[in-house]
Structure 1
Amino acid sequence: MISSTPRMSVRASRLSVFSGSGHPEAPVVTCDPCRFSAKTSNAVKYCKDCGGHFCIYCAKTHAKAPATRKHVQIAVTQETAPDKTLGRQKKMCQEHGAKLISFCESHDTLCCNVCVLASHRECAKVVPLSAVADRNYVFRMCKDLESAIKKLQNKFEDLQVQKLDFVKNVEEQTETLVTTVKMYRKSIDGILNKLEEAVMKKKDEYYFERTQQVNGQIKTCKTAINVLDEAYKEVDTTMRETNADMFVNIKRVQGVIGRYSGVLEKIGPSEKDGVKFVVDTNIERFLGGLEALGEILVEKNAARRDLSPSIASSRRSTGDNRRPNFTADVNVKLKSDRKTCFITGATFLFDGRLVLADDTNKCIKLFGSDFKPLTYVSTVTSPRDIIAISHHEVAATLPAEKIVQLLKISGRDIEKKKGFLLDIECYGIAFHAQDIYVTSGWSAEREIQVLAPTGELRRKIRLSKTVFRYPLYITVDPKTEVIYVSDYINGVISLDMTGKILTQCREPDTGCYYKGIEMTTSGQVYVCQWQQNAIARVHTDGRGLETVLIWDQKDRRKPLAIAYTTKTKRLALSFCGEKRDFLTLYKFY
């Protein structure tokens, strides 16, 4: 005897199980009309006449339709759930329960006899299914449907990838936002610290002034006490002398008493000054009236149609993976410049202002977010590289002096602050997690020095000559904490924070020299290929370099320094060819 267990197990997998009392629970069955309308509603009624399953709303419609008004509907149970009769039910009209026998070409719909009489009586092209369902035609339709389904499925898969990219991009942006907020908070703390220092300075000045004056009076009192003590002794001994000598001594002592009486009146008793701190309520009132440190602005970007992964790295493609587009050439020569500009370092502040290191004119230049010149400050020797370390501070390297120079930027002014003296000829500079990273450049040390904001040396990263020949420029990925160094000869080297080599990328020919290096917020690394007149994107997974910008050799544009701003997504490039007085701007669209 053949067991029916497999069949029962299949039904049990499609339907709900029986309750503990032994009575079947209502199974979960989809409403047939809703299912064909791309909806999902649970059926609660079963029509015994047409064998259809209906939700509460479709059941009411089914009961009101003239053709199915007399159909008998019962509650959905295990017995009424669809099973092997489902294939037969698919061939029945979902509205009237009758067999589908015709096709209306005018309305592109299948019809039963009731449908034809009720809704398609006036239609010109209602043909039997046998007439329209040619085998070859149906076969081609199935193939077309398969193709359409696959295309639609691929579009949903691409859209899913895009949405995942969007979520990842939002996550990266929020991490960058957190870093910016914390740095801004540090700037505010720095301002408050300076206000506190100003009050403490006034306190010290008051203390010095008052105590110095009173200490002088204390010395005068001490001298007076000693002199009067001697005068008292002299009066005591005068009684033994002659009248004339007594008279002389008395007059001298009287003079001493008169003199110091005048001193006493001049000094007088010290008044006890009441010193207290009167707060500037404007600060508290202003800060108390704020709801947040700033606003979060959402920049709407056009929807990206290209959903293919980027070939630049193993990371998924984002908007910044596209090739940068030329925007404009900006003249950076000032009226005070005596020589042609030679921009060896560039950095953007958080508000979009641009700071440049001009080697030949020995100065640091400040430009507004509209790239119009604001001011400059001269340096004793030529600056090399520059980096923003807060909203209002930058740090520049001065190789000839072995100094990292700090500069304060407020509004339209630049002010030099105290610098850090190093034991190497500092060249490239980067800033990460409140630490300053400096490369040794052309010197023989071949190392990276990590400095605290106070200039204290935290650690050194030294590598062999085969890796670090001439480590020039440097940047740090804040998310992965990977250090990228452009070595003049050995290409782009990536290291972890301990100095372990992760990747090394360079062109196979030995005539390619590497200069400025920069990272965008999406994790893309760009490096200047000086001899090739090109900008290359670094594959962060170590697969090599990809040229994204290149200039004709006749143009003599040799890219030297590079900077990126997240505010406007602009890439600024300086050249050491004939275009030295210009920066070229590119933008990611």
Structure 2
Amino acid sequence: MSSIAAEVIDPDVADTFLTCSVCEEPFKNPVGLPCLHSFCKECLTKHILSTTKAQKNPKAFTCPKCKRHVDSPDPHQPPHSWADLFPPNHFVLSLMEGVKIRSDSQKCDPCSRRNEKVIAIRWCKECGEALCQQCEGFHRSMKYSQHHHLVSMEELKTQPIKNTVSRPPCPDHEGTLLGFFCEDHNQVVCSSCVTIDHRKCKHVTTTAEAAEKQYVDAESLSEKLKLQRDWSRRIAENRRHSARVLEDSTNQIRHQITSIRQQINDLLVQKEVKILEELKTVHADEKEQYDKVIETCDGLVSTTENAIALIQNSMRHGSDTDVILAIDNVKNESQSCESKLADLTTRLKDLFINFSADSTLQAVVNGLDNLGRLTTTQANVNLTAPYNVEPMTYRSDHTHRDHIHHEHTHREHDHHDRTHRDHIHHEHTHREHDHHDRTHRDHSHHETRHTHTHRDDKRREIEIESVRSLPLSPISTGRKSPVAMPPAATQRKALTPPYELTSSPVVTPRKLRKRSPSPLPPLMLPKSISPFPYNRIIPRQATLETFFKGRTSNDRENCCFTGAEIIQDGRIILCDQTHRKVKVFNHNYQWCGEKVLSAKPYDVCCIGGSDIAVTLPTEKKIQLYTVRDSDFICIANIQTGAKCWGIAYAQKKFAVCCFSAPPSVKIMSRDGRELKTIARDMAGNDYFNFPDYVAMDKNTRNIFVTDRYRKSISCITALGEKRWEIRYDNLKVPRGIAVYGSKVFVAGCRSHTVVQLNIDGDILGDIISEGISYPTKIVVHPNGENILVTQHQATLIDVEKNMVKIFSLNNQ
């Protein structure tokens, strides 16, 4: 009660609370909306009329302040009367009056009603009126008011505002005030309500007694609302930051594209003409096909209209014989039209023209054969007949007129219409030297496509594939990555509720400061970090050695591999969230067996020999299994007390990422005892927002954690002290993490890279920058020669979602 009371004892009320946000003037006849915002009745009426004038039968409007949907209090009433139906905000009116009477020029209320302006000197609490000296004498002489408590205006200014705030009037009984509270109905009532409507209620108290009980709840509710306000601000700031990053990256890519054009301008002129001619040819050929379909459909429209006219005229003016002949002929023609329409509908395909720059542009040397390549994408249009058509009407043996070639490209991102959920994806590659020997292959797959483009309705776009910046370019990116925005659905970052969180500005290296994430607790940078690491040995690029398909014939859908491990005998274990399975593959990457679990597994680690530990987040436990030749035997269960995600094991200890309050990394023994919880520093600042994956060195001195929300990498000692925390601009959304000796490898899900660090947090560079898309989990082989990478993202093509890739570290 004390803190709440202290806030209202201060008579200075914020102007914004007593000001209409529409007219920015003090409230006049304020009315309240369900979202708790108040506006002048006249302002609200104008807003309602302006927002509903385009609606045919308006039934709702949006709040002018928070844009929340507000239903009409009575849809049968015209919009200009809706504001009258919302309840007046008596509290704001009383508060305005309380502030007003504390001014030096408060006028006498009785005199004001006589149009006389006299300064008041007294205040009657019972009547709620200011009185001048003359009216004070009259007030004291009246029988009904002679015992009223009068205070001077000077004394009144020192009292809390609530001492002068009057109770709201009862909406049901004129002349009575709301002074009682019915706990049975959770309703504030007047004395008449108590005696009439609530006479049988057992728990009716005065509002003063009821309010006394509410103060504790009010304090906790206020704190919760403040946290929700901060949470909203964090989300908004995060989006503003993302918008700035998007703008920066867009400008950078735009500059990169134009600089490439400027640097090799002379050569581009020649090749540009060539490829534009090819583009013109592709467009003309496809346009011709579209025109043929349009011409056919126009003919069918004419035929059907003529048939309709024939039936109508024969029935209206013809003989019985004419009717029979006309209907018989029209039936035959209708069947023919239906067959043609069904066949056309089946063969409808949209052509997408994509453009990717030729990789030889990177070198800018003689021998550049082509500016790039044109690829076309065909997708079945999900257009259904307007009525039920017999299945036999559709032709199932129609031939494709185009040469179909499925292009298996690991770094390709296609832009499709958002509504094409299930379609056949065909890539038609037009190259000068392969015009006469194109391969005919069909590859069907289901893929959800998302497009970030301003011209979705055209379903046609030119997409430029990024090339490594030229040596003389001032904006070298250092890796091949798509310049065009990848087709990814808008990712809503599930920022964790901040009830246990604190925020402070981010500290990043000078070169990264411009693109640091939104406000988060400060980063602890490694002592040796330098914005210009010229003296570091850049690791050599790992090479793709092989890949294998993790999806088996038993799987009904595409897989989602969030966890992987290589056990001591070389076998590979995969955690498949989609099918709730753990799978085992031999050293030749052949599927050996699997086990369906009780919940979706997230991560897995080897705990010695053929034993593994699997995290089950929804069940808040770790399950231990022995991996046999073709199946798994459960040997133990360990309860974690919180949703558990990434897991690591060393020296007979588990390190488990837990999304608890606060988020933490728990150190547990193999028999399930909780040895230590790492969550906060000595000052009470949280180490994590959402610890995702974890790795430990062999002696468990260092624990490395990636954070899903902070998008950072942390190093914590076994004693729970943070050594460093970094974010790296070329490592976007760090996910999987692995340690081998003094080397730390981190997967950048959104940068499509795997980056190498040392245990001191120094970033050595990319070891994988090509051949992977959205890397999720990484595992280093026990011999240190290979690294395994899983991939997952909703927009990945099917073959990539199910693909597990093995890279050779080239004696890093």
TM-score of Structure 1 vs Structure 2, range by shorter chain = 0.3 to 0.5
- Which structure is higher in RCO with an 8 Å CA cutoff and minimum separation 6? 1
Report the TM-score when normalising by structure 1: 0.43
TM, length-normalised to structure 2: 0.32
Greater Rg over alpha carbons, structure = 1
